[in-house]
Structure 1
Amino acid sequence: MSASKLQVYSSPEIDDSISKEEEHTYSPQVRSFDNNDEIEIIINQRDIWISLFESFIQVDGEFIPDPVPETGGGNVTLTNNAAAYLFENVSYELNNVELDSVREVGTVSTIKTFLCYGKDEVRALTLAGWNDQESQQLKTFNETDNTFSFRIPLSYLLNLPFDYHRIVSGHQKLRLIRSRNDANCFISTGTRKATLKINNIELKAKHVYPNDEIKLTILEGINKDRVISLPFRKWEIHELPSVRQTNNDIWRVKTSTQLEKPRFIIVCFQTNRKNNPKSDVTLFDHCDVRSVRLWLNSNVYPYETWKLQFAKNKYLEAYQAYVDFYKEFNGKDRAEPILSYTDYKKRPIFVLDCSKQNEAIRSSTIDISLEFESDNNFPADTRAYCIIIHDRIMQYYPLTGIIRQLI
């Protein structure tokens, strides 16, 4: 630092490596956006470089409340993160090979927002249908004609563009599958329901044009079929549809290979929220949970059992783990969590850090199990979510178009 003060004759550095950037619109081949429909958007130009993390999906549609019944009507409003709940699954393909996919898009993106975005960063998600004020309507909804418009970053829906901030070329395909119904997209104070009609979906892709010097360097690498590594962190969701109505349960989530070693495990509970318009699907329930523990074979995380008491507002260990995740995952020194200690009680997200593992785990298959205890029996219709975050590295050979999974 002190030496830099003495560089009085140094020349200013001007970055002109990119000669031009443009946003191009790509539309689906089949314009049908009803429930369960599959929507494909294809980029066929193999010589075009796309910045995925700066690209967006734009959704335009109408919010159509049912007529008010004679009794038990109530009001209906769009739920927070309604745009993501419009889709059941989203995937990205390069040269007809699936690089990334996310199931339960609404649930995963909701959890991801609370964990990975800071207070200032989340403001930009207003365009994606995120609302940090529970009592207010979404900002991009027009109450005059009941129309909505969302501009959703690909990095918000997919794992690859969230972590990989470099340009990509080749035959690219984005596939979206509409949700089975729209029950998670709105909240009703009575029996009244609503329908969300999508009129248009477009991919707004950022085209990047390097200057001649950089372009020549890239083309030389392509002609030599030099491998391009695509590293990112995969969010893999698992669901336990019904937790037993006892005060403790063990959930054997899956058996993982040594190539998919979990780095973090995220656990959440919801009671009668999924596909229930009377409940906010973006909230989670603490269910008076006393402890959550992760077993990787015979290794347990955390080492010491939590002693949470949500009824007495004592859940320090869980909130600390939530705060620490933001710093660890984003590589930052200071935490800027969205949820305050009080807000966390309405959205408890249990984070189990298992990124440090011994050799015994690294060299074998891994049985992933969760053990959770509660002060009271778990309520009926309680489901548990488990998100396994693990490393994924794909290798792309641009000349031959071959793609291999390294991890």
Structure 2
Amino acid sequence: MRKCENITVPQSTIFTWRLGVKSSPEKPRWIIVGFQTEKDNNQLKNPAIFDNVNVSNMHVTLNETRYPAIDYNISFIKQQLSRVYGDPAAFRSKFFHMDELVSNPNITASDNKDLYPLFVFDVSKQSERLKTSVTDIKVKVHFNVNEPADTQAFALVISDKMLSFHQTERR
């Protein structure tokens, strides 16, 4: 199951976004976050391109369990982007069950920084307690500078939907 949400980002250096509450049949496995500035209803800008918006750190919490456990420590200016570049590659490999060499889209680190700076969170390894309860999802972002006006955040939540089948008696 996939669900995309978006919100206008306030002009601030810290942004907390509560994505929502997932009921127990839906367990989040991946959360992908991206930002776009001044692209909503603008035919002159390509909506397939995302903006790096000077993020310095970001994490997701599922019922107070933090992903990733350690800070990103990103600097787009200093080219410190290895996790921003590596996490989407790991996602492609794990999600499609393919070797990274086969699933590699040949996007350079520079293209990733300038065109596709997507933040991918693997939340698939959850404690048993989270797997049987309602899941509260929050995204917390730190920016180096206040965000420009008209910046939108997008979050795609990819979940497993647990289905149960009950066998009925035949008469």
Measure how far apart 1:334 and its partner are: 2.2
- The equivalent position to 1:351 in structure 2, one of 120, 126, 139, is 120
> Which has the larger Rg?
1
**Residue pairs, 1:290-369, within 5 angstroms:** 290-335=56-101, 336-346=104-114, 347-369=116-138
For residues 125 and 24 of structure 2, the distance between their equivalents in structure 1, rounded to whole angstroms, comes to 14
The residue identity in structure 2 corresponding to 1:299 is: T
- The equivalent position to 1:260 in structure 2, one of 21, 26, 43, is 26
* Contact 2:24–2:131 (Cα < 8 Å) also in 1: yes
For residues 34 and 58 of structure 2, the distance between their equivalents in structure 1, rounded to whole angstroms, comes to 10
Structure 1 vs Structure 2 CA RMSD: 1.6
- The equivalent position to 2:143 in structure 1, one of 364, 374, 377, is 374
- The equivalent position to 1:389 in structure 2, one of 139, 142, 158, is 158
For residues 246 and 289 of structure 1, the distance between their equivalents in structure 2, rounded to whole angstroms, comes to 12
For residues 280 and 383 of structure 1, the distance between their equivalents in structure 2, rounded to whole angstroms, comes to 14
Give 3-state SS (helix, strand or coil) of 2:74's partner.
coil
- The equivalent position to 1:289 in structure 2, one of 34, 55, 72, is 55
* Contact 1:247–1:373 (Cα < 8 Å) also in 2: yes
Give 3-state SS (helix, strand or coil) of 1:324's partner.
helix
Kindly tell me the number of residue pairs found equivalent between the two proteins.
162
Give 3-state SS (helix, strand or coil) of 2:89's partner.
helix
Instruction: Specify which structure has the bigger relative contact order, considering alpha-carbon pairs within 8 angstroms and separated by 6 or more residues.
Output: 2
For residues 148 and 107 of structure 2, the distance between their equivalents in structure 1, rounded to whole angstroms, comes to 25
For residues 133 and 162 of structure 2, the distance between their equivalents in structure 1, rounded to whole angstroms, comes to 19
* Contact 1:326–1:337 (Cα < 8 Å) also in 2: no
Question: CA offsets, 1:8-39, max 9 Å, x none?
Answer: xxxxxxxxxxxxxxxxxxxxxxxxxxxxxxxx
Runs (4+) off by over 3 Å? 392-396
Question: CA offsets, 1:298-323, max 9 Å, x none?
Answer: 10000101000001211111111111
Question: CA offsets, 1:247-297, max 9 Å, x none?
Answer: 111001101112111000000000001210121111100100011100001
| Residues 299 and 395 (structure 1), Cα distance of their counterparts in 2 relative to 1, 3 Å cut | closer
Question: CA offsets, 1:51-96, max 9 Å, x none?
Answer: xxxxxxxxxxxxxxxxxxxxxxxxxxxxxxxxxxxxxxxxxxxxxx
Measure how far apart 1:395 and its partner are: 8.3
Give 3-state SS (helix, strand or coil) of 1:326's partner.
helix
> 1:235 maps to what in 2?
2
For residues 394 and 302 of structure 1, the distance between their equivalents in structure 2, rounded to whole angstroms, comes to 28
Measure how far apart 1:354 and its partner are: 0.3
Give 3-state SS (helix, strand or coil) of 1:390's partner.
strand
* Contact 1:243–1:249 (Cα < 8 Å) also in 2: yes
- TM-score w.r.t. the length of structure 2 is 0.90
The residue identity in structure 2 corresponding to 1:260 is: E
Give 3-state SS (helix, strand or coil) of 2:9's partner.
coil
For residues 110 and 10 of structure 2, the distance between their equivalents in structure 1, rounded to whole angstroms, comes to 28
- TM-score w.r.t. the length of structure 1 is 0.39
**Residue pairs, 1:199-238, within 5 angstroms:** 234-238=1-5
* Contact 1:254–1:369 (Cα < 8 Å) also in 2: yes
* Contact 2:35–2:152 (Cα < 8 Å) also in 1: yes
The residue identity in structure 2 corresponding to 1:238 is: E
Percent identity among equivalent residues? Answer: 31
Measure how far apart 1:333 and its partner are: 2.2
